[in-house]
C-alpha cells in the first residue's frame, strides 16, 4: 500500500491529495462512491487526521469530491455535465450474493495487523516464519525445478502429490487410502467450503463443536445451514448429544476437530471416539474430521484419527500442510468415498479450475523428502518451548485472573478470563497496548475467553506480549 | 491411476479383483455404494470387458459385492451382521448443494482424454507444453528461490504481483490502475466465480454473448442467474441489443470477451465498443470484460480494452496468464473499484484463504523479467503457424463442407459444419478415430458448430488430426 514520503519537499497533505486524485481517475473510487473516513485513511497512511482533513479539502476545492454531513465524503458525479452518465451502484452490487462478510472481530484484527505490523500477534492461527521449513522448501525448489507440465491439471489434484499423500497418511496417520480417494484443496479451508456448498443444501441442520473454528466462518451461514452445538468438555464432545440432536433436528452432518481442537486444545477421549463412530454408523450420519494439528503433538504420538478406524465409510477426513509446514503454500486434502471426490472435483473445476501445480509439486517433494521428519521434530520442540513461555508469562502476570488447560499439541491456548470483561473493550485496549489476540466469541463462546496463539509471535516477544496484555486487561476491567 | 501389470504372472482379472477389494476396504467404495459399470472400468483400466466381468464375479463369490439386474453392481452391506450399521447415503449427499455438475459433453471430453492420452486434442482450450515458458519459469524458480514468507497472505493477493501487474497493465493494455484496485484470483475462472457468487443474487438477469465461453460454465446457472443472449456477429455484440434486454429484463450485468472471443475469435468493432460503454453508462450497468487472449494478437497490436477508456468505472476487467503463459500456474486478476475488491477479497478468504504465494511470486518474476516480451513474440509466431496448419488442413480435407472466419488472435477456430450433423454422433466418431474437439453446443450455439483449438495439439499432429476428423465427419453424416 502506498504511503506518503516523509522526506519529500512536497507537503504530506498534497501527496495524499495527489494519490487520491490518481486513484479516483483510475477508477478505484468511481463517481459517487464513498471514500474512506478521515480517521480510517489517517490510520492507513500513518498520518495525523488533520493532514487528511487538509487533503480532502484540497480535493473538495477542485470539485473532485463532495462531503455531505452524515453521509461521508464521496467522489463527485457532477463532473459529467449535461449527458447523464451513471456509474453502476457498486455498493449495492457488493451487498449482493449469499456470501456473508467475515466477522467484525476478524476484520478488525486483519485491519489492525495491516496497519501496525509491530503488534505482538497472538491472533493469527499460524506458524511464525522461522517455524516453517523455508530453507528446505527453497532447496527443493532449486533442486527440482524441472517442471515439465504447466497445463490445466486434473481438478482432483496433482497425481504425484496424491501418491505422496497415500504414503504419508499411512505412515503418520494410520489411514489406508488410494490416490483416487484423495482430493487436493486450497488448504483445509477449501475442503470445508466444498463440503458446505456441494454436499449440503440450504436449510440442512449440522452439528459443530462449541466452541469451534467453524463459528469463525460465515461460510456455514452463507450456505444456509442451521448450526447446532456440541459442547466440548475436557474430553471432547459427548456422543449422546449427537443422538439427541439427531432426534430433535435431523442433523445431516457432524463437523469435528478431535485432536488439539481449535480453539480449546482438547483431545477427544478414546472411548468417546468409538461411541461417536457407533452413533454415526447407527444413524447413517457422516462425520467431517478436520485434523490439521495432530502432527504437532509435543511429547507423545497423537491419537489416531477417526478415519483410521472407520470401517464403513462414515468419515470425510481433512488434512493440511498449513499448521505443520506453511499456510501460504495453500495445500490441503480430503480423503473421501469415490462419489464424493468426483462430485467435489467437478464442482471445484467450475470455481477455480484446480490448484496451481507449482505448490502441489513442492508439497509432494517435501512430503517425500528426508526433510520432513526432522522438520516435524524441530517444530514440535519449538512449539513446546513457546507454549511454556506463554504459560510462565500468564502465571507471572495474571496469576489468579486466568484459567486454562495446558495444551499438549496445536498452536493455541484457550484461556478463561476470571474477572468480568467486555471482549471488544479488551481487544481495543490490547491493540492500543501493542498486542493482539482472538476474542473467544469469534469461536462461538460467551464473552470472557481469549485464544492465545503462541506459534506465531517470536519467542522473545511472548513475555512482553503477555505483560502488555495484562496491562490492557487491567485497563479494561476498571 | 492404478493399471494392472501385464507382465505379472498373476492373472489380470485377479489383479483387478485384488485392487478393488483393497479400494473397498479402504473406504473408496463404502458398503452399499455403486461400483463403476463393467464397461467403464474396462475402459479405465484398458482391459477387455470380459476381464472385468471375471473380476466382479470373483468378488461376488467372496460376498464382497452384489449385482442386481437393473441397478448395477454394489458393495455388499450384509457383511455387518446383526448390529445395524449404516454408511451415510453418500450418493444423496453428492446430489446436494446448489452447484450443478459440469456439462455432459465436457465430462465426456475429460473422460476420453484421461482414458486415451494419444487422442489428438483440439478440445482443451490451452497452450501446448512447448508454447509455455517452461524453461524461463524453471530458471526463475532456480534463481530466486529465496521465498522468505510462507504465511497466510493478504487475501487480495501477493503485493509484489499486484505491483508487477500495475506496470504490465499500463504497458501492454493501456490500463492505468493501482495495487489496491487489483485482486489476484485462481485464473480468470475464479474471478468469474466470485462475481457470479458475490455481486449478483439468485434471480438476477445478466447478458452474455451468444455463443460464449460462459455457456460452458454451469456456474452461472448454479448462482441462480437468468441468462439472456447477445448474439455475436462478425463485429461483436450489438449495443442496441443491450438496451432492449435492459428494458425487457432489467439485466444487471453484461459479460463480454471483446478480443478474440471464445469460441468465435471475433474482435469487437471500435464504434460498437464506444456505443457499448455509452449504453452501460446511460443505464448504470456494469460490464465484466474478460480479456485472456489479447496478447496473442498475431500480427497487429490488439485493440485496447474497454477498461482503458472507461472513465466512470463501469468495467470490471479480468485477465489471466493461462492463455499467454501457463494455465497450470492458475494466476488471474481482476481490476475493479475499491468496494468490489474489498468485498470479493473478504469472501474469497472464506472460500480458500487466498492463492498460494509460490505461483504468485513466480508470476511476478516472470512479468518483470526480460523473458516476457520475447516469450510473447515466440508465442504469437507459433500460434500463427499452427493456425495456418489448421486452415490448410481444413481446406484440403473438408473444402466445401466447412465455413469459418480466420482468427487473428486467440487459440480457437470456430467452424460451421455445412452438412447437417448430430454433435454427439460426430464427437463419438471423432474419439473413435483418435481426435477430439469441443462441440459448439457447449458454447450455447445450435448443433453443427465445432470449436477447434489449434494451440494445444502438436503442430505435426494438426494435419493428421483434421484428416481423422474428416473421416469421422463423413461417417457421422452417413
Ligand atoms: C481447525 C481448523 N481447520 C481448518 C483451518 C483452515 O486452515 P487451512 O485452510 O490453512 O488448512 C484452520 C485454520 O485456522 C483450523 O484451525
Ligand atoms: C474467455 C475465457 N475466460 C476465462 C477462462 C478461464 O481461464 P483461466 O481461469 O485459466 O484464466 C477461459 C478458459 O478457457 C476463457 O476462454
Rounded to the nearest whole angstrom, what is the distance from the C-alpha of residue B163 to the centroid of ligand 2?
A: 23
Q: Please give the full DSSP string across A391-455, using - where no structure is assigned.
A: HHHHHHHHGGGEEEPPPSSSSEEEEEESS---HHHHHHHHHHTTEEEEEGGGGTPPSSEEEEE-S
A189 Cα nearest atom in ligand 1: 9
Same domain? B452 vs B309 = no
* Any A CB within 8 A of B422 CB: no
Distances from the Cα of B224 to the Cαs of A69, A202, A434, B220, in angstroms?
A: 39, 14, 46, 7
* Mean pLDDT, residues B241-261: 96
pLDDT for res B68: 82
Over range B426-441, report the average pLDDT: 97
Q: Do B1 and A180 touch (CB under 8 A)?
A: yes
Say whether both A414 and A339 belong to one domain.
no
- Nearest CB among A88, A138, A356 relative to B284 is that of A88
Do A330 and A249 lie in a common domain? yes
Residue A293 sits in the same domain as residue A308: yes
Q: Is the pLDDT of residue A82 over 60?
A: no
Q: Is the pLDDT of residue B121 over 80?
A: yes
Closest CA to B183 of B295, B319, B362, B291: B319
- The pLDDT of residue B83 is 56
Q: Cβ-count burial of A464 within 10 angstroms (0-12 exposed, 13-18 middle, 19+ buried)?
A: middle
Q: What is the CATH number of the domain that holds B361?
A: 3.40.640.10
Q: Indicate which residue's Cα is closest to atom 13 of ligand 1.
A: A125
Is residue B99 one of the residues assigned to a domain?
no
CB B57 within 8 Å of CB B14: no
pLDDT digits (tens, 9 = 90+) for A362-405: 999 999 999 999 999 999 999 999 999 999 999 999 999 999 99
B182: left (phi over 0), alpha (psi -120 to 50) or beta: beta
Split at pLDDT 50, 70, 90, the class of A147 is low
Chain A residues with CB-CB distance to B22 below 8 A: 178
Q: Give residue for cell 502488555.
A: A468
> Strand A287-290 to strand A315-320: parallel, antiparallel, or no bridges (unpaired)?
parallel
Higher per-residue confidence, A171 vs A138: A171
Q: Is the CB of B327 under 6 A from ligand 2?
A: yes
Residue B290 β-bridge partners: B318
Question: Is the pLDDT assigned to residue A81 strictly greater than 60?
Answer: no
Which of the four pLDDT bands, split at 50, 70 and 90, describes residue B79? low
Taking the CA of B356 as reference, the closest ligand is: 1
Task: Specify the DSSP class assigned to residue A457.
Answer: S
Predicted confidence (pLDDT) at residue B127 exceeds the cutoff of 60: yes
ipTM reported for the complex surpasses 0.90? yes
Q: Are residues A111 and A152 in the same domain?
A: no
Burial of B44 (C-beta count, 10 Å sphere; 0-12/13-18/19+): middle
Tell me if B16 sits within 8 A of B57, measured CB to CB.
no
- Chain centroid to Cα B324, Å, comes to 15
Residue B81 pLDDT more than 60?
Answer: no
Residue B2, judged by CB atoms within 10 A of its CB (0-12, 13-18, 19+), counts as middle
Strand, coil or helix: B254: strand
Nearest-CA distance B42 → chain A (Å) = 16
In a domain, B141, yes or no: no
Cell of B170: 499500463
**Residue A146: its pLDDT value, please?**
60
Residue B34 maps to a domain: yes
Handedness of CA A235, A239, A244, A249 (dihedral sign): positive
CA dist A113 → A117, A290, A459, B180, B309 (Å): 5, 27, 18, 17, 36
> Which atom of ligand 1 lies closest to the CA of A212?
1
Judged against a pLDDT cut of 90, whether residue B91 lies above it is answered with: no
Residue A29 sits at the chain B interface (C-beta within 8 Å): yes
Q: Which of residues 109-128 of B touch A (CB under 8 A)?
A: 114, 124, 126-127
Based on the fold, state whether residues A326 and A383 are members of the same structural domain. Answer: no
Hey, is the C-beta of A365 within 8 angstroms of any chain B C-beta? no
Establish if B433 belongs to a structural domain: yes
Provide the CATH number for the domain around residue A462: 3.90.1150.10
What pLDDT was estimated at residue A79?
58
Tell me, using a 6 A CB cutoff, whether residue B189 lines ligand 2: yes
In sequence order, what are the residues at sequence separation of 6 or more whose Cβ sits closer than 8 angstroms to the Cβ of residue A408? A260, A265, A267, A297, A298, A299, A300
C-alpha cell at B327: 494455465
What's the total number of domains in chain A? 3
**CA-nearest residue of chain A to B170?**
A26
Q: How far is the CA of B188 from the centre of ligand 2 (A)?
A: 6
Per the CB < 8 A criterion, the answer to whether A195 and A288 are in contact is yes
- Dihedral over alpha carbons B257, B263, B264, B266 (to 10 degrees): 20
pLDDT at B84: 65
The pLDDT > 70 percentage for chain B reads 97
Phi, psi of B338 (to 5 degrees): -45, -45
Q: Which residue has the higher pLDDT, B318 or B302?
A: B318
Please check whether residue A1 is in contact with residue B180, taking contact to mean a CB–CB distance below 8 angstroms: yes
Asked if residue B80 has pLDDT above 60, the reply is no
Residues A86 and A181 in one domain: no
B15 neighbors B41 (Cβ within 8 angstroms):
no
Cβ(A163)–Cβ(A156) under 8 Å? Answer: no
Which site among A41, A336, A338 would you substitute to test the B interface, given the most B Cβ atoms closer than 10 Å to its Cβ?
A338
Same domain flag for B187 and B114: no
> Cβ(A335)–Cβ(A181) under 8 Å?
yes
Find out whether the beta carbon of B187 lies less than 6 Å from any atom of ligand 2: yes
What CATH number did the domain enclosing B72 receive?
Answer: 1.10.10.10
**The most confident of A301-305, B58-62, B428-432, by mean pLDDT:** B428-432
Q: Which of B295, B325, B458, B465 is nearest to B385 (CA)?
A: B458
B288-308 pLDDT per residue, tens: 999 999 999 999 888 899 999
pLDDT at A232: 96
Inside any domain, residue B431: yes
Distance CA B220, CA B210 (A): 14
**Pair (A238, A308) in one structural domain:** yes
| Angstrom distance (rounded) from CA B409 to CA B296 | 5
Q: Give the span between the Cα atoms of A274 and A272, in whole angstroms.
A: 5
Q: Is the pLDDT of residue B27 over 80?
A: yes
Report the alpha-carbon angle A212-A283-B31, nearest 5.
110
The residue out of B320, B335, B370 marking a domain boundary is B370
Which distant-in-sequence residues (6+ apart) come within 8 Å of A172 by Cβ? A295
Dihedral angle at the C-alpha atoms of A364, A370, A374, A376, nearest 10 degrees?
Answer: 20
A contact test, residue of B358, B364, B365, B455 with most A CBs within 10 A: B358
**What percent of chain A is predicted at pLDDT more than 90?**
78
| B452 within a domain of the structure (yes/no) | yes
What gap in Å lies between CA A188 and CA A200, rounded to an integer? 17
Residue A416 lies in a domain: yes
Asked if B182 and B84 sit in the same domain, the reply is no
Residue B209 inside a domain? The answer is: yes
Range of the domain at A52: 12-90
Tens of pLDDT, residue by residue over A50-63, are: 999 999 999 998 88
Using an 8 Å Cβ cutoff, are A192 and A317 in contact? no
SS3 content of chain B, % helix, strand, coil (to 5): 50, 15, 35
Domain boundary among B370, B391, B416: B370
Task: Give the minimum alpha-carbon distance from B93 to chain A in angstroms, rounded to a whole number.
Answer: 5
Q: Which residue has the higher pLDDT, B144 or B397?
A: B397
Residue A351 near chain B (CB below 8 Å):
yes
Residues B156 and B124 in one domain: no
**Average pLDDT of every residue of chain B:** 93
pTM of the predicted structure, to 2 decimals: 0.93
Tell me which of B370, B395, B417 is where a domain ends: B370
Are residues A170 and A294 both part of a single domain? yes
What value does the mean pLDDT take over residues B384-389? 98
**Residue contact A84–B129, C-beta within 8 A:** no
Radius of gyration of chain B (CA): 25
Amino acid at each position: 500500500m502506498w504511503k506518503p514520503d516523509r522526506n519529500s519537499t512536497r507537503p504530506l497533505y498534497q501527496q495524499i491529495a495527489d494519490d487520491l486524485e490518481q486513484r479516483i481517475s483510475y477508477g478505484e473510487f468511481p463517481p459517487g462512491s464513498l471514500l474512506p473516513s478521515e480517521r480510517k485513511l489517517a490510520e492507513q497512511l500513518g498520518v495525523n487526521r488533520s493532514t487528511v482533513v487538509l487533503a480532502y479539502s484540497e480535493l473538495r476545492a477542485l470539485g473532485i469530491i463532495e462531503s455531505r454531513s452524515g453521509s461521508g465524503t464521496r467522489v463527485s458525479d457532477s463532473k459529467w455535465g449535461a449527458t447523464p452518465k451513471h456509474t453502476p451502484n457498486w455498493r449495492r452490487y457488493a451487498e449482493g450474493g449469499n456470501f456473508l462478510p467475515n466477522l467484525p472481530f476478524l476484520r478488525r484484527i486483519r485491519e489492525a495487523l495491516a496497519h501496525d505490523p509491530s503488534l505482538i500477534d497472538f491472533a493469527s492461527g499460524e506458524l511464525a516464519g522461522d517455524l516453517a521449513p523455508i530453507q528446505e522448501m527453497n532447496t527443493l525448489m532449486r533442486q527440482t525445478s524441472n517442471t515439465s507440465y504447466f497445463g490445466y491439471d486434473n481438478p482432483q489434484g496433482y497425481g504425484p502429490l496424491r501418491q505422496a499423500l497415500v504414503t504419508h497418511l499411512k505412515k503418520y496417520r494410520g489411514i489406508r487410502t488410494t490416490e483416487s480417494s484423495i482430493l487436493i484443496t486450497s488448504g483445509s479451508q477449501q475442503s470445508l467450503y466444498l463440503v458446505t456448498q456441494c454436499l449440503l443444501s440450504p436449510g440442512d441442520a449440522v452439528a459443530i463443536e462449541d466452541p469451534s473454528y467453524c463459528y469463525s466462518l460465515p461460510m456455514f451461514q452463507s450456505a444456509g445451514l442451521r448450526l447446532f452445538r456440541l459442547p466440548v468438555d475436557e474430553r471432547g464432545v459427548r456422543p449422546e448429544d449427537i443422538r439427541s440432536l439427531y432426534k430433535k433436528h435431523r442433523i445431516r452432518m457432524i463437523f469435528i476437530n478431535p485432536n488439539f481442537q481449535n480453539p480449546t486444545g482438547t483431545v477427544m477421549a478414546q472411548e468417546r471416539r468409538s461411541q461417536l463412530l457407533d452413533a454415526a454408523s447407527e444413524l447413517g450420519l457422516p462425520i467431517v474430521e478436520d485434523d490439521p494439528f495432530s502432527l504437532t503433538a509435543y511429547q507423545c504420538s497423537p491419537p489416531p484419527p477417526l478415519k483410521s478406524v472407520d470401517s464403513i465409510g462414515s468419515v470425510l477426513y481433512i488434512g493440511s500442510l498449513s499448521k505443520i509446514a506453511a499456510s501460504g503454500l495453500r495445500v490441503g486434502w480430503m480423503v473421501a468415498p469415490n462419489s464424493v471426490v468426483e462430485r467435489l472435483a467437478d464442482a471445484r473445476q467450475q470455481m477455480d479450475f484446480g490448484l496451481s501445480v507449482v505448490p502441489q509439486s513442492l508439497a509432494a517433494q517435501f512430503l517425500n523428502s528426508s526433510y520432513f521428519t526432522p522438520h516435524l521434530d524441530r517444530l514440535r520442540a519449538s512449539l513446546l518451548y513457546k507454549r511454556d513461555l506463554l504459560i510462565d508469562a500468564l502465571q507471572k502476570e495474571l496469576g489468579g485472573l486466568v484459567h486454562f488447560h495446558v495444551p499438549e499439541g496445536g498452536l493455541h491456548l484457550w484461556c478463561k478470563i476470571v474477572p468480568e470483561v467486555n471482549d471488544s473493550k479488551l481487544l481495543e485496549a490490547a491493540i492500543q497496548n501493542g498486542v493482539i489476540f482472538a476474542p473467544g466469541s469469534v469461536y462461538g463462546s460467551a464473552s470472557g475467553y481469549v485464544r492465545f496463539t503462541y506459534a506465531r509471535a517470536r519467542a522473545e516477544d511472548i513475555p512482553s506480549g503477555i505483560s502488555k496484555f495484562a496491562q490492557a486487561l487491567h485497563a479494561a476491567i476498571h
